[in-house]
């Protein structure tokens, strides 16, 4: 169900989006029952009576100082067009507290304790004393504080239409007697929970998570950044009425410190001056952050808008008709002798005022910048918990995090929360049987989805004859010769036709310190003559070489490439070398046209026994079926508007769903829906399927879409299904295959725990691989389910959440659940099941790779968070698509493999 926030004046419902769950076929029956608990708590809400909905408007009175630049988010507005009188989000909660305490406001509250969502919506349990069709306003003086001085704010309450909302609307919808979900009821419930959480003064709200120093001490990550622990809270409609989802949450804050100390940590040095590269790097990090100053006698907070090119000695401005440098100004006005006069100054506020770095203190604030790879790894390591540790945290949050049993706002609205997590019945699906080489099969370990691949041959071995190695490492120190010998030997054991690399094809000389990969690869291709180059392996010493290699191989020269870090070879010498080489061969075999393993349950051969569960999988393989995976990756938060989002689509083209082709397309900054480019990409992939399958068109399309938030379900589904249908018509008039459209998400907070110790798997004490849940905690009417398809390697396993939004094949729950699970074994890069179906995983890799293709100078900052939308006219989509278009040599449908992205 979509649960997007609506504006204060819109109290309408939202229609149901997904496929309706059939009363019998909509629930799965396959698998072994397993007793679970989930981090959801039953919520009791009133079933009769009303609550009341008001719109909140806050605006600074004209003539009062405007907020610092960037304070207010300016939803839907382009930069530079924000209302200077708009109130920053950070101040709204404080202003609302002043407003509700004002004598005139107290007169109209009717004894209510309102719940405020921090933006536009206010809810009360009784109607306020405001005349019909009128509003109530109060002008307040916000006291002088560190945010920038005394200001006057006008706060206006306006009754929404409808004003009174019946609690019974929700139960009517969940009982099937109402078509639209009353979103405003859930807005109200979640706002009441928010109000209860913020009754603890130390809590900081970030979306639906709440963070505090008191929950756990902040953990230092380096460069002035700290990991904070919090909890997530969200009420949801389910088959068991309303449930409160509670979970552990983490985020990153900057710690309070002198700005010069932060600069030294960030640059890993204490420079007396900055070169151009350091200045640009620092400006990118500091832009948008808040600093505090007190050189003027009082504390003042301002937001950084940039960094100057010049130092304070060389920055001049006019004061009283005289030209003054920043250095002289601070000496004469504040008697401050600047010590760091070789460093630049900050530009702050709306007028671009100048501040020397040494007079500023970086305040504690949320970090929205991209973490380094070391910080990310450190954060993952430090927040990793077993399933039972996470369960205990959630249970402690229920008992002590919020006073759910005594909070006055919850009591006033008649909302209560059960003390125990809900119990659910899951089912552990049987693992598939895998077909490998020499017509043999491999049994999968049911508990964790793993299988032993060491002694098996590939199902379809590839050929690696014409290849070469570009080495940028010290081969004597790294041990390259044993590595190559192990690769050739193990490749042959796996059934591959594999020769030693032909190093005579490399240029006689090249600058290994600053290599031109395009020229080197072109020389290799030329020296192989008429023989097609199967692969070029590059042994790299620096991370940034990866992007350069992939751009050269994928886009410019058109040869498959495989990068290996010299350090990785070095640390895997001896007995561990076999594991490294085995993992590399999984990728290499796929890139050169091979198939590692196949799900035997998809394959029915005449005169042989019918595979297990084939009846439940038959409709996927009896007719030509194509499986798509799609994803959109976005620039990191804070990246400039000229950074595009990248859409990626992959599609299968064989009967066992192990071989895929890919297409990519650029689109507007942080645009999630990919309707514009999706039609053409799908049409090309349908044509390729037909070429590879003796002119047979697919009769069924299964489309797995990754990375869509619930608030975008309806928009994304409608536009992308329309694009699918348009692509089919483009291929052939009247061509109408059956389409099944499923959104699979990992960005949710549902976790499940075994009730019985004997069911737990591994060090993480997790639920076993193949655990599926489609009852109790799922949507009350639409077909969705949670599937934990993988065995957790560390921490608490996060199941995939599957929402079937469109399906004209009328698949049963058993069919789609089993098929989705078995697709997680079709992922070529490892010998285990993965967390989401292989095509969705591959689409993520393709989009990620395209960002390397876009990069002109190494690895570009990237993020897969799929939030928000919007574009900028400065993005030249056509030009960007030329930069990320994969070379025709690799995309040729007559080649055995197009899987350059593995």
pLDDT tens track for 851-866:
888 876 433 433 333 3
**Alpha-carbon distance 359 to 116, whole Å?**
37
Measured at the CA of 828, the angle between CA 824 and CA 833, to 5 degrees, comes to 30
**For position 78, what pLDDT does the model report?**
40
The structure tokens 């060389």 sit at: 314
Give the lowest-confidence range in 13-27, 589-603, 619-633. Answer: 13-27
pLDDT tens digits, residue range 318-328? 888 889 999 99
Say which range, 56-70, 137-151, 548-562, has the weakest mean pLDDT. 56-70
H/E run at residue 151: strand 151-166
- The predicted-structure confidence for 413-452, as pLDDT tens digits, reads as follows 999 999 999 999 999 999 999 999 999 999 999 999 999 9
Q: Locate the domains of the chain by residue range.
A: 51-69+81-212+231-244+385-422, 257-363, 461-591, 611-891
Q: What is the DSSP string of 750-807?
A: --EEESSGGG-BTTTTBPPTTEEE-SSSS-SSB-EEEEE-S--SSS----EEEEEEEE
Whether the per-residue pLDDT at 605 is higher than 90: the answer is no
Find residue 626's DSSP bridge partners.
Answer: 701
Best-predicted range by mean pLDDT among 67-71, 815-819, 845-849?
A: 815-819
pLDDT band at 298 (very low <50, low <70, confident <90, very high): confident
- Mean pLDDT of the residues in the chain: 89
Instruction: Tell me the CATH architecture of domain 257-363.
Output: Beta Complex (2.170)
Distances (CA, A) of 894 to 156, 466, 535, 657, 888: 67, 18, 17, 18, 11
C-alpha torsion sign, points 205, 209, 210, 214: negative
Parallel, antiparallel or unpaired: strands 209-211 and 219-222: unpaired
The pLDDT of residue 11 is above 50: no
> Could you give the percent of the chain with pLDDT greater than 70?
91
pLDDT above 80: residue 204:
yes
pLDDT confidence bin for 638, thresholds 50/70/90: low
- pLDDT tens across 678-691, in order? 999 999 999 999 99
Q: What is the CATH number of domain 611-891?
A: 3.30.420.10
Give the distance between the most distant pair of CA atoms in the chain: 99
What is the Cα gyration radius of the chain? Answer: 30
pLDDT of residue 286: 95
pLDDT at res. 84: 65
- pLDDT tens digits, one per residue of 42-87: 999 999 999 999 999 999 987 555 443 333 333 334 434 456 678 8
Residues 6+ apart with CB under 8 A from 417: 41, 42, 43, 44, 244, 398, 404, 405, 410
- CA 44 from centroid of its chain's CA atoms: 32
The pLDDT confidence band at residue 637, using thresholds 50, 70 and 90, is: low
Query: In the prediction, which pLDDT does 858 show?
Result: 37
E strand or H helix that includes residue 882: helix 877-884
Query: What pLDDT is stored for residue 865 in this prediction?
Result: 36
- Sheet order of strands, 561-565 included: 467-471, 535-540, 561-565
What's the pLDDT score for residue 855? Answer: 74
pLDDT for residue 179: 75
The pLDDT assigned to 193 comes to 96
Determine whether 488 is exposed, middle or buried from the number of CB atoms within 10 Å of its CB (0-12, 13-18, 19+). Answer: middle
pLDDT of 765 reads 96
Q: Do 119 and 139 touch, CB atoms closer than 8 A?
A: no
pLDDT value at 291 more than 90:
yes
Residue 262, pLDDT above cutoff 60: yes
Exposed/middle/buried for residue 289 (C-beta within 10 Å: 0-12, 13-18, 19+) = buried
Tokens standing for residue 98 = 């002043």
The pLDDT assigned to 501 comes to 97
Predicted local confidence at residue 859, as pLDDT: 34
How would residue 670 be classed by pLDDT, with cut points 50, 70 and 90? low
Architecture of domain 461-591: 3-Layer(aba) Sandwich (3.40)
Q: What is the mean pLDDT of residues 457-476?
A: 95
697-707 pLDDT, tens digit per residue, is 999 999 999 97
């Amino acid at each position: 169900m979509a649960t997007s926030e609506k504006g204060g004046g819109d109290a309408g419902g939202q229609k149901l989006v997904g496929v309706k769950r059939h009363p019998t076929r909509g629930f799965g029956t396959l698998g072994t029952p397993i007793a679970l608990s989930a981090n959801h708590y039953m919520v009791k809400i009133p079933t009769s009576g009303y609550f009341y909905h008001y719109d909140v408007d806050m605006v600074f009175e004209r003539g009062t100082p405007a907020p610092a630049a960037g304070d207010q988010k300016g939803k839907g507005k382009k930069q530079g067009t924000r209302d200077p009188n708009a109130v920053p989000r950070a101040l709204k909660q404080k202003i609302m507290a002043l407003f509700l305490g004002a004598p005139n406001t107290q007169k109209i509250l009717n004894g209510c304790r309102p719940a405020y969502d921090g933006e536009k919506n206010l809810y009360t349990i009784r109607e306020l004393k405001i005349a019909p069709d009128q509003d109530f306003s109060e002008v307040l003086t916000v006291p002088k504080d560190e945010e920038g001085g005394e200001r006057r704010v006008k706060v206006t309450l306006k009754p929404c239409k409808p004003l009174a909302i019946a609690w019974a609307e929700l139960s009517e919808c969940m009982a099937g007697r109402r078509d639209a979900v009353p979103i405003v009821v859930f807005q109200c419930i979640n706002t009441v929970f928010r109000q209860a959480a913020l009754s603890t003064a130390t809590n900081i709200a970030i979306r639906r998570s709440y963070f505090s120093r008191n929950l756990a001490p902040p953990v230092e990550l380096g460069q002035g950044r700290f990991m904070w622990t919090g909890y997530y809270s969200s009420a949801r409609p389910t088959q068991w009425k309303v449930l409160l989802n509670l979970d552990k949450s983490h985020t990153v804050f900057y710690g309070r410190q002198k700005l010069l100390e932060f600069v030294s940590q960030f640059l890993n040095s204490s420079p007396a001056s900055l070169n151009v590269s350091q200045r640009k790097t620092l400006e990118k990090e500091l832009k948008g952050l808040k600093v505090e100053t007190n050189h003027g006698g009082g504390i003042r907070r301002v937001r950084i808008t940039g960094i100057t090119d010049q130092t304070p000695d060389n920055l001049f401005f006019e004061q009283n008709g005289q030209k003054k440098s920043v250095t002289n100004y601070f000496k004469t006005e504040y008697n401050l002798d600047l010590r760091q006069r070789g460093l630049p100054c900050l530009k702050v506020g709306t007028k671009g005022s100048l501040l020397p770095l040494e007079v500023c203190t970086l305040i504690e604030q949320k970090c929205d910048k991209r973490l380094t790879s070391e910080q990310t790894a450190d954060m993952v390591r430090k927040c990793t918990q077993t399933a039972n540790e996470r369960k205990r945290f959630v249970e402690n949050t229920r008992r002590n995090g919020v006073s759910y049993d005594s909070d006055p706002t919850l009591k006033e609205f008649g909302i209560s929360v059960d003390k125990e997590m809900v119990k659910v019945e899951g089912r552990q699906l049987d693992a598939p049987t895998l077909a490998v080489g020499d017509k043999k099969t491999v049994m999968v370990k049911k508990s964790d989805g793993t299988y032993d691949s060491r002694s098996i041959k590939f199902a379809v071995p590839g050929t690696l004859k014409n290849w070469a190695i570009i080495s940028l490492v010290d081969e004597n120190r790294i041990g390259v010769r044993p590595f190559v010998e192990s690769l050739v030997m193990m490749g042959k054991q796996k059934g591959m036709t594999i020769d030693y690399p032909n190093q005579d094809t490399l240029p006689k000389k090249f600058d290994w310190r600053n290599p031109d990969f395009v020229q080197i690869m072109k020389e290799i291709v030329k020296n192989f003559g008429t023989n097609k180059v199967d692969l070029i392996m590059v042994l790299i010493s620096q991370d940034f070489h990866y992007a350069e290699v992939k751009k050269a191989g994928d886009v410019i020269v058109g040869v498959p490439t495989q990068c290996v870090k010299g350090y990785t070879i070095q640390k895997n010498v001896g007995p561990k070398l076999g594991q490294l080489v085995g993992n590399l061969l999984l990728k290499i075999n796929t890139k050169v046209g091979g198939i590692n393993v196949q799900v035997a349950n998809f394959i029915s051969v005449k005169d042989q026994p019918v595979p297990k569960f084939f009846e439940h999988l038959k409709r996927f393989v009896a007719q030509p079926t194509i499986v798509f995976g799609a994803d959109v990756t976005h620039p990191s938060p804070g990246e400039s508007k000229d950074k595009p989002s990248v859409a990626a689509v992959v599609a299968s083209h064989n009967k066992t769903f192990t071989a895929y082709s890919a297409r990519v397309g650029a689109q507007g900054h942080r645009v999630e829906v990919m309707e514009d480019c999706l039609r053409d990409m799908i049409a090309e992939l349908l044509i390729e399927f037909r070429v590879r399958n003796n002119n047979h068109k697919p009769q069924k399309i299964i489309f797995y879409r990754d990375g869509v938030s619930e608030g975008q379900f309806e928009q994304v589904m409608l536009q992308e299904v329309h694009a699918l249908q348009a692509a089919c018509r483009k291929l052939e008039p009247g061509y109408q295959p059956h389409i099944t459209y499923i959104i699979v998400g990992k960005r949710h907070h549902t976790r499940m725990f075994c009730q019985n110790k004997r069911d737990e798997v591994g060090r993480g004490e997790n639920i076993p691989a193949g655990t599926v849940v489609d009852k109790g905690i799922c949507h009350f009417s639409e077909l969705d389910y949670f599937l934990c398809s993988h065995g957790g390697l560390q921490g608490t396993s996060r199941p995939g959440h599957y929402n079937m939004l469109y399906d004209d094949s009328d698949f049963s729950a058993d069919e789609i659940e089993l098929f989705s699970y078995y697709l997680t074994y079709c992922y070529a890069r490892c010998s285990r099941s993965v967390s989401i179906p292989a095509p969705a995983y591959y689409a993520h890799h393709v989009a990620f790779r395209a960002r390397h293709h876009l990069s002109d100078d190494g690895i570009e900052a990237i993020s897969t968070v799929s939030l928000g939308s919007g574009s900028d006219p400065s993005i030249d989509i056509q030009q960007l698509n030329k930069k990320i278009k994969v070379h025709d040599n690799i995309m040729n449908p007559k080649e055995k493999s197009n899987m350059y992205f593995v």
